[in-house]
Structure 1
Amino acid sequence: MERFTLAQAADWTKGDAVGEAELTAVTTDSRQIPPEALFLPIRGERFDAHDFMEKAIADGAAAVVSHRKKEQYAVPALYVENTSQALLDLAGGYRRMCGGKVIGVTGSVGKTTTKELLYAVLSQKFRACKTEGNLNNEVGLPLTLLRMTRETEVMVAEMGMNHFGEISRMTAAARPDIAVITNIGTSHIEFLGSREGICKAKLEILEGLRPDGCAVFCGDEPLLWEKRESLGCRVCTYGIENPACDLTAHLHEDGTFDIVNNSLPCQTLGRGEKFKAALAIPGAHNVLNALAAAAVGLLLGEAPEQIAAGLASYRASGVRQNIYDKNGYHIYADCYNASPDAMEATLRVLGTMAPEGRRFAVLGSMLELGEYAEEGHRRAGRAAAAYADALYAYGPDAAAMAAGARACGMEQVYTFSDHAALVAALQRDAKKGDALLFKGSHGMKMERALRLFLGEDVEE
């Protein structure tokens, strides 16, 4: 992080500084106080980190931010109306000080994979940084921006949300040069009411777009496509099914694909020209994510060979889109999160696995679907019937998932309310050479079921 002063922080946040300090770190965690750190406490629903102010000071905080204006501290202090907003404002001012470009990424499905592919591609040419882990909310996004330095040429910043207004506040801090929206699904429909509501919330990212910035959309999504000419900014589109998109992909049977420039304004790939690319992760949905990364790379002047190398270099790991063999089984672990759209995409991949074995869909319930929960889970069940040989449904909505599968003629359908029973049934039925997909919302802890199935250590 670059050095800044408490006076600069006061200017960025419109706060009042008492005392002077030079700072090289910002932390919201009183347990982690780096040297020359500004401690910025956040008030949450169940706690107020202001209560740990004295501990942070004792542990070496060089200065603090506070909305308790009557309190005095033993170190320089910055008094603000709201520390959560101050964190965003601080990050926004710091981002402007550092310069560099910011690529904002949001969407219902695929934004994290797209973020990783963007980083893999852009790192081929630029000094790039990215959102680490799942730091994509109103605390994680500003902390990501605060990792920039004056040497950072491109920051890839993921923006997630559950409610209206969240992306609006984040994009005001990030001021993206390019804003990517991967798609409009049904994630968080409980809070946003409809897919139109979700689209409206995702489009908030354009509110912070720089005047000369560009929006990059998936043109296969009708809700985005129909709005492309009414958004008041430059828009570039990519897609597989929509041939009118600026950048398209032609898929080949060997898993490679051609990236074709129909009308994307760039210097390194002429209109009508194409280049071949490949991914180490499967699925047409990931080709769409790759197209988003390719579009941004081309807009920023990368050569096709750099983009192809970046796409090929990305490897999934952990419990997100990770396909591997273990104990004689083909495992597809994608347990980080789930929505009906993501379920269908991963099940389609499962359908291509284990040509000589059977395919098991081990699916946990999807959360935050509200009134759409019944139909969303039935839809997942129907997709399981289309692409799997057996469905093992877990969680509070397992019955709806099972009903959708049975309505499509699937016979081997089972529901479970605990991991132990689920794993016992799987270990009884699955044979060496079979493929098993483990997927569900994070709260379903399907990665725990996977570890139990593989005989790995599991924390109780």
Structure 2
Amino acid sequence: MNITLHDCKNLFSTYRHYGDLDVEINRVATDTRKPMEKALFIPIVGERFNGHDYLKEAIHQGAVAALWQKDIPIPKFIPTLFPMILVDDTTKATQQLASYLLEKQKPIVVGVTGSNGKTTTKDLLDAVLSEKYTTHKTVGNFNNHLGLPFTVLNMPKECNCIILEMGMDKFGEIQLLSEIAKPDFAIITNIGESHIENLGSREGIAKAKLEITEGLKENGLLIVDGDEPLLRNAYAGETIYCGYKQGNTYELMVKKTDERGISFTCNHQEYIIPMLGEHNVKNTSLVIALADKLGLSREDIQRGLNKVKVTAMRLQVLPGKNGSLIINDAYNASPTSMKAAVQTLKQLKDYDRKIAVLGDMYELGHDEENLHRSVAEVIEPPVTDVFTVGEKGRWIASELMDKSKNINIVHFPTKEEAIEELNKTLSPQTVILFKASRGLKLETLAEVFVKEERE
């Protein structure tokens, strides 16, 4: 961290302190259940909690200073020399501190948003750009109005490139994040159906994602999914388009797919990624476009791609029992990402039995039944079996049955009821895909069939 108490004193007007302004601050923290050695404690006020109630624990855990909301009385137990920075609102102050640090340290700032693929693209960016830069990235799902500032404020002093994931579920949220971060480069991975319940339509989702340009620096660059009409000519500034269709700035063609990954060409240069999914090829092209702009060679880019690690439950390939292959893609789901996962399953040529285990998708609004049924559009041989799970997953099975495709279709109201039937399918010729929204926790079913190390 590169913020000092001098910075805090200069940034905020009111200060209660009778000690050393040069006290070392290594990071910011909110969770007093964990060690806070040399941390700036930031008490957040939520709907059901107030972090100000935990100042004593923060000091006990090693915090060396704290932000403090002015309208909350300062406790009498505070040590005389303990620095207190008084602010109108601790959440807004955290955002101000993050913007200040970015201006002070001046790393290259890359903002990433999109309906699907944000985390994978962030991980790809980190792997590739670390070939030339000292990078820092959003950890986990720290991608909201608090998570993004905390990611920035815990940026190492030596960082010269920060990769910030930006999430949202309603209008205005990405605009705020973009204005905090002021990115040099902004990436929109795609436009899907996630949060359509709040945003009304895919057009609304595109409008919300394009808010990432609101804080984009002058002469900043936008890189987008060029196969998505809603992102074509949507920004007046410089834009790079990536995709499979002709006319994109970076044009893609897949050459080979197997369980080890995908080989493809991007503007006629060949690359290999150690992950599944043609949508991940497109995510990679967004990274290639940015890496090109920053002067990395094809060799640099491929070296970075070789290092990337697939995040758990995102098309994660695992050895299954009885020699089978398990693809755990149960982290989350929308119709777009579920269709992409099914397409990936179809492309695995070395397996005679291809089974899709598909479950409920959430936050799809009033049209959720039709959106579930739309997944059936891509389900066809070589998929051999579809096992659906959950109340909403039934709609996928129903649509498939109406189409009378040459596929074995079974619906299970609960995950547990599917175990016996799936056990019968396991063999070296079987690959099973698991895909559903986070709330269903379908990974607990997938884990039943993963080969244990001692086997």
What is aligned with 1:444? 440
Query: What's the TM-score, normalizing by structure 1?
Result: 0.90
Contact 1:365 1:444 in 2 (8 A): yes
Unaligned runs of 5+ in 2: none
AA aligned to 2:325 is: H
Pair 1:332-2:330 in alignment? no
What is aligned with 2:36? 34
Query: What's the TM-score, normalizing by structure 2?
Result: 0.91
What is aligned with 2:162? 155
Pair 1:170-2:207 in alignment? no
1:17-96, aligned counterparts within 5 Å?
A: 17-19=15-17, 21=21, 22=23, 23-73=25-75, 74=78, 75-96=82-103
Contact 2:36 2:58 in 1 (8 A): no
Deviation at 1:80, TM superposition (A): 2.2
Equivalences, count: 438
Counterpart-to-counterpart distance in 1, 2:170 and 2:9? 29
**Structure 1 residues 387 and 107: alpha-carbon distance in aligned structure 2, compared to 1, 3 A threshold:** farther
Contact 1:364 1:446 in 2 (8 A): yes
Contact 1:259 1:277 in 2 (8 A): yes
1:23-422, aligned counterparts within 5 Å?
A: 23-73=25-75, 74=78, 75-227=82-234, 231-241=235-245, 243-253=246-256, 255-260=262-267, 274-327=268-321, 328-353=323-348, 355-385=350-380, 388-410=383-405, 411-422=407-418
Counterpart-to-counterpart distance in 2, 1:166 and 1:383? 33
Deviation at 1:407, TM superposition (A): 2.6
| Seq. identity, % | 35
**Structure 1 residues 99 and 226: alpha-carbon distance in aligned structure 2, compared to 1, 3 A threshold:** closer
**Structure 1 residues 315 and 149: alpha-carbon distance in aligned structure 2, compared to 1, 3 A threshold:** closer
Contact 1:382 1:404 in 2 (8 A): no
Counterpart-to-counterpart distance in 1, 2:137 and 2:304? 15
Deviation at 1:237, TM superposition (A): 1.5
Counterpart-to-counterpart distance in 1, 2:399 and 2:393? 10
Deviation at 1:253, TM superposition (A): 4.0
**Structure 1 residues 432 and 169: alpha-carbon distance in aligned structure 2, compared to 1, 3 A threshold:** same
Q: What secondary structure sits across from 2:251 in the alignment?
A: strand
Q: What secondary structure sits across from 1:278 in the alignment?
A: strand
Deviation at 1:149, TM superposition (A): 3.2
What is aligned with 1:4? 4
Contact 1:319 1:336 in 2 (8 A): yes
Q: What secondary structure sits across from 2:219 in the alignment?
A: coil
Of 278-287 and 216-225, the range deviating more from structure 2: 278-287
Deviation at 1:11, TM superposition (A): 4.4
Deviation at 1:32, TM superposition (A): 2.4
Contact 1:110 1:182 in 2 (8 A): yes
Root-mean-square deviation over aligned CA pairs? 2.1
**Structure 1 residues 114 and 455: alpha-carbon distance in aligned structure 2, compared to 1, 3 A threshold:** closer
